[in-house]
Amino acid sequence: MKKETPVQSDTEYAKALGAALRAERKKQKIGVELAGKALGITASYISQIENGKKNPTLSVIENYAGFLGMDLFELSLRVRIIRSPDKESLQNLIADLTSKIDTLAELRTAG
């Protein structure tokens, strides 16, 4: 697998983040204007985020995800799925997440 440079990685992450947000917004049939008004930002900025042209602050990302009914974990998972290039990568992601869920479950029962 070809190693990405930090700039390529940031650009690809921004595109995947935008794609995940746009897909959920469209699934809920919410226009960019309504989303922008609800978040206190312009429809143009929403569009730029969704097209990977802007790198919004974590606060904006969290607010946008929350507006769409997602938390940062779910959004991050969707981004990782979008960025997984093949079936093997997805299987590795699932195995990694399963391990983390098991660890969290152990911590919860121990505490």
pLDDT for 1 equals 44
Query: Is the pLDDT at 93 greater than 60, yes or no?
Result: yes
51 secondary structure, DSSP code: T
Q: What is the mean pLDDT of residues 88-110?
A: 85
Selection from 66, 92, 93, 63 nearest residue 77 by Cα: 93
Segment 13-26, tens digit of pLDDT: 999 999 999 999 99
C-alpha closest to that of 20 among 61, 41, 50: 50
CA 41 to chain centre: 19
Indicate if the pLDDT at residue 96 is higher than 90.
no
Please give the residue that has the higher pLDDT: either 34 or 99. 34
Q: Which residues contact 77 (CB under 8 A, 6 or more apart)?
A: 97
Q: Look at residue 108 in the predicted model and tell me its pLDDT.
A: 85
Give the tens place of pLDDT for each residue, 51-89.
999 999 999 999 999 999 999 989 998 998 888 878 888
